[in-house]
Amino acid sequence: MTSNHPLGERTTRRLPPLSSLRAFEAAARHGSFKRAADELVVTPTAISHRIRVLEDFTGLKLFVRQVRQVTLTDAGAQLYPVLRQGFDAIEAVLARLTQPNRRDRVTVSATHAFTAKWLVPRVARFHALHPDIDLQLHASDATVDFDAHGIDVAVRYGSGPYPGLMTEVMFADTYAPVVNPMLGVRSIEDLQSVPLIHFDWQKASPVNPTWETWFARTGLAWQPARGQLRYSDEGHAIQAAVAGQGIALLSLALVAEEIAAGYLVQPFGPAIPGYTYHLAMRANPPPGPAALAVADWLRREAEACKS
């Protein structure tokens, strides 16, 4: 008998219940039965039961169950990306079919300081180029998970590597002393007359561009000035410098507008190297057209900074 199916004869699919596949994919993505249960609006016990059904169906152990988290076995690690891509594809097709006029939204992750001082001032230029794409900025000084936070593009600051992501260098950072010109700081000798402004790095390292590092690399003796100020956030240190609270060792990329406007000056050198900004996108599944448009825009903005 000839099949009427447009693709020809098909055998019956032998698949486990969809509920068990959804439970597995959510638990694998979150690394937690509890967070998977929150997403699917069921109890953690229900998630555990559905995954047990899948394990019984396949005859495979898919998770190593620990007290507060679960990790994938080798079999689970092979199954997870296939299911994730399948669910992503289904979601994308349904969204396109049911919401034909739906606007694209791209979420960009970066540090608080980079978001506030580098990304936000450039958003208007992006919207002028791509009025059909909504840009959502996600600021965090911690390294965020693309899947857990819905990130499409990230600007990562450091030396890497960034496993599982496609990365490329945007530009290298440099740090130099900057100060409000009203304080009258003109030479290195003036460091003794104004407070030094510090900020805390998320991870301590001897190569972090700090005042101690600057003094060491310039060959000058470390002589702390009186009334030093310390902030937990780099953005706050920038605001403090603009307000004339002292002299700060800051990223020249992040204070470029303040220097151009005359709110800050670089009275002397040298500048010392910071870390490198990387453009990062997930490798699998590959980024869509809207995310690629954002990446191209970031590349152009980074190139403009170098010129």
Q: What are the extents of the domains in the chain?
A: 18-98, 104-171+276-306, 173-273
Q: How confident is the model at residue 1 (pLDDT cuts 50, 70, 90)?
A: very low
Domains 104-171+276-306 and 173-273 share a fold: yes
112-165 pLDDT, tens digit each: 999 999 999 999 999 999 998 999 999 988 888 888 888 999 999 987 778 888
The fold adopted by the segment(s) 18-98 is: Arc Repressor Mutant, subunit A (1.10.10)
| CATH code of domain 104-171+276-306 | 3.40.190.10
Q: How confident is the model at residue 248 (pLDDT cuts 50, 70, 90)?
A: very high
Q: Is the dihedral of CA 235, 164, 83, 35 positive or negative?
A: negative
Say how far residue 133 (Cα) sits from the centre of its chain: 19
* pTM (2 d.p.): 0.66
DSSP codes joined into one string, 266-284:
--S---EEEEEEEEEEESS
CA 147 – CA 218 distance, rounded (Å): 43
The yes/no answer on whether domain 173-273 falls in CATH 1.10.8.60 is no
35-71 pLDDT, tens digit each: 899 989 999 899 999 999 999 999 999 999 887 778 9
Angstrom CA distances, 72 to 30, 33, 48, 283, stand at 11, 12, 14, 20
Kind of pairing between the strands at 247-251 and 196-199:
parallel
Angstrom CA distances, 193 to 14, 158, 185, 238, 266, stand at 78, 33, 9, 19, 16
